[in-house]
Amino acid sequence: MTVSDNYYIDAVVVRGESKTHSVSINQKTEDGLSFEPFDLSDYYIRFRVLGSATLDALVLIEKNITQVSDENEEGIITDASNGQFQFHITAEDTNTLGTGKFPISIEVMDADTEEPVFTLTEGGYQGEFNKLQVVEC
Protein backbone atom coordinates (compact mmCIF):
# COMPACT_ATOMS: atom_id res chain seq x y z
CA MET A 1 0.00 0.00 0.00
CA THR A 2 1.17 3.50 -0.79
CA VAL A 3 -0.19 6.55 1.00
CA SER A 4 -1.84 8.58 -1.75
CA ASP A 5 -5.20 10.06 -2.65
CA ASN A 6 -6.62 6.72 -3.80
CA TYR A 7 -5.74 3.91 -1.45
CA TYR A 8 -8.01 1.23 -0.10
CA ILE A 9 -7.48 -1.61 2.35
CA ASP A 10 -9.67 -4.69 2.02
CA ALA A 11 -8.13 -7.38 4.24
CA VAL A 12 -9.70 -10.86 4.17
CA VAL A 13 -9.28 -13.67 6.69
CA VAL A 14 -11.05 -17.02 7.07
CA ARG A 15 -12.96 -17.43 10.34
CA GLY A 16 -11.04 -19.66 12.76
CA GLU A 17 -7.70 -19.02 11.03
CA SER A 18 -4.89 -16.52 11.63
CA LYS A 19 -3.49 -14.25 8.94
CA THR A 20 -0.82 -11.57 8.69
CA HIS A 21 -1.22 -8.60 6.33
CA SER A 22 1.76 -6.48 5.21
CA VAL A 23 1.64 -2.72 4.67
CA SER A 24 4.22 -0.22 3.36
CA ILE A 25 3.78 3.48 4.04
CA ASN A 26 5.18 5.90 1.47
CA GLN A 27 4.92 9.66 1.40
CA LYS A 28 5.26 12.19 -1.39
CA THR A 29 8.69 13.73 -1.79
CA GLU A 30 9.06 17.47 -1.23
CA ASP A 31 8.79 18.15 -4.98
CA GLY A 32 5.60 16.04 -5.09
CA LEU A 33 6.79 14.08 -8.11
CA SER A 34 7.51 10.74 -6.49
CA PHE A 35 7.22 8.77 -3.26
CA GLU A 36 9.67 7.74 -0.55
CA PRO A 37 9.30 5.47 2.50
CA PHE A 38 7.85 7.03 5.66
CA ASP A 39 10.29 6.31 8.51
CA LEU A 40 8.42 4.64 11.40
CA SER A 41 11.37 4.70 13.83
CA ASP A 42 9.74 7.25 16.17
CA TYR A 43 6.20 5.90 15.80
CA TYR A 44 3.93 2.95 16.41
CA ILE A 45 0.80 1.81 14.61
CA ARG A 46 -2.63 1.70 16.26
CA PHE A 47 -4.82 -0.82 14.42
CA ARG A 48 -8.52 -0.98 15.28
CA VAL A 49 -11.44 -3.04 14.09
CA LEU A 50 -14.63 -0.99 14.50
CA GLY A 51 -18.29 -1.83 14.94
CA SER A 52 -19.36 0.76 12.34
CA ALA A 53 -17.90 3.38 9.99
CA THR A 54 -18.69 6.35 12.25
CA LEU A 55 -16.56 8.64 14.44
CA ASP A 56 -18.09 7.29 17.64
CA ALA A 57 -17.86 3.64 16.60
CA LEU A 58 -17.34 0.94 19.19
CA VAL A 59 -13.78 -0.44 19.06
CA LEU A 60 -14.07 -4.23 18.78
CA ILE A 61 -10.33 -5.02 18.58
CA GLU A 62 -7.32 -2.78 19.17
CA LYS A 63 -3.66 -3.62 18.56
CA ASN A 64 -0.61 -1.43 19.11
CA ILE A 65 2.07 -2.45 16.64
CA THR A 66 5.70 -1.60 17.47
CA GLN A 67 9.17 -2.80 16.53
CA VAL A 68 9.06 -5.23 19.47
CA SER A 69 5.39 -6.24 19.67
CA ASP A 70 4.35 -9.88 19.38
CA GLU A 71 4.11 -10.48 15.65
CA ASN A 72 1.79 -13.46 16.23
CA GLU A 73 -0.71 -11.45 18.31
CA GLU A 74 -0.58 -7.80 17.24
CA GLY A 75 1.81 -7.60 14.34
CA ILE A 76 5.18 -5.88 14.10
CA ILE A 77 7.01 -3.02 12.43
CA THR A 78 9.25 -5.12 10.21
CA ASP A 79 11.40 -2.40 8.62
CA ALA A 80 10.94 0.97 10.33
CA SER A 81 13.21 3.01 8.05
CA ASN A 82 11.29 1.77 5.00
CA GLY A 83 7.82 2.25 6.50
CA GLN A 84 6.94 -1.44 6.58
CA PHE A 85 4.74 -3.18 9.14
CA GLN A 86 2.40 -6.13 9.49
CA PHE A 87 -0.89 -6.45 11.33
CA HIS A 88 -1.90 -9.89 12.51
CA ILE A 89 -5.46 -11.18 12.87
CA THR A 90 -5.61 -14.20 15.18
CA ALA A 91 -8.06 -17.09 14.94
CA GLU A 92 -9.47 -15.87 18.28
CA ASP A 93 -10.04 -12.39 16.75
CA THR A 94 -12.03 -13.91 13.89
CA ASN A 95 -14.12 -16.01 16.25
CA THR A 96 -14.82 -12.95 18.43
CA LEU A 97 -15.92 -10.91 15.40
CA GLY A 98 -17.85 -13.61 13.54
CA THR A 99 -18.33 -13.37 9.79
CA GLY A 100 -18.95 -10.03 8.12
CA LYS A 101 -17.30 -6.81 6.98
CA PHE A 102 -15.80 -4.60 9.68
CA PRO A 103 -14.41 -1.07 9.21
CA ILE A 104 -10.77 -0.69 10.23
CA SER A 105 -8.73 2.25 11.45
CA ILE A 106 -4.95 2.32 11.05
CA GLU A 107 -3.22 5.31 12.64
CA VAL A 108 0.44 6.29 12.89
CA MET A 109 1.01 7.31 16.51
CA ASP A 110 3.85 9.39 18.00
CA ALA A 111 5.75 7.01 20.32
CA ASP A 112 6.57 9.77 22.83
CA THR A 113 3.27 11.65 23.08
CA GLU A 114 1.01 8.72 22.07
CA GLU A 115 -0.93 11.19 19.90
CA PRO A 116 -2.08 10.33 16.36
CA VAL A 117 0.11 11.78 13.60
CA PHE A 118 -2.11 10.69 10.68
CA THR A 119 -4.49 7.95 9.68
CA LEU A 120 -4.03 5.60 6.76
CA THR A 121 -7.71 4.71 6.54
CA GLU A 122 -9.43 8.08 6.42
CA GLY A 123 -12.15 8.22 3.81
CA GLY A 124 -12.42 5.51 1.25
CA TYR A 125 -12.46 4.68 -2.41
CA GLN A 126 -15.78 5.47 -4.14
CA GLY A 127 -17.62 5.72 -0.82
CA GLU A 128 -16.37 2.36 0.49
CA PHE A 129 -14.76 2.07 3.89
CA ASN A 130 -11.47 0.31 4.54
CA LYS A 131 -12.34 -3.03 6.02
CA LEU A 132 -11.52 -6.42 7.40
CA GLN A 133 -13.68 -9.21 6.02
CA VAL A 134 -14.11 -12.40 8.01
CA VAL A 135 -15.39 -15.17 5.74
CA GLU A 136 -16.36 -18.83 6.12
CA CYS A 137 -14.41 -21.35 4.13
Q: What is the pLDDT of residue 80?
A: 97
Total Cβ atoms within 10 A of residue 107 = 18
Q: Please provide the CATH number assigned to the domain covering 10-135.
A: 2.60.40.10
Q: Of 68, 75, 66, 59, nearest to 111 (Cα)?
A: 66
Q: Each residue of 79-103: b (16+ CB within 10 Å) or e?
A: ebeebbbbbbbbeebbeebeeeebb
49-90, pLDDT tens digit by residue?
A: 999 877 788 999 999 999 999 999 999 999 999 999 999 999
1-55, pLDDT tens digit by residue?
A: 334 444 567 899 999 999 999 999 888 888 988 889 999 999 999 999 999 877 7
Domain range list for the chain:
10-135
- State the Cα–Cα distance between residues 54 and 92, nearest whole angstrom: 25
* Stated pTM of the model: 0.86
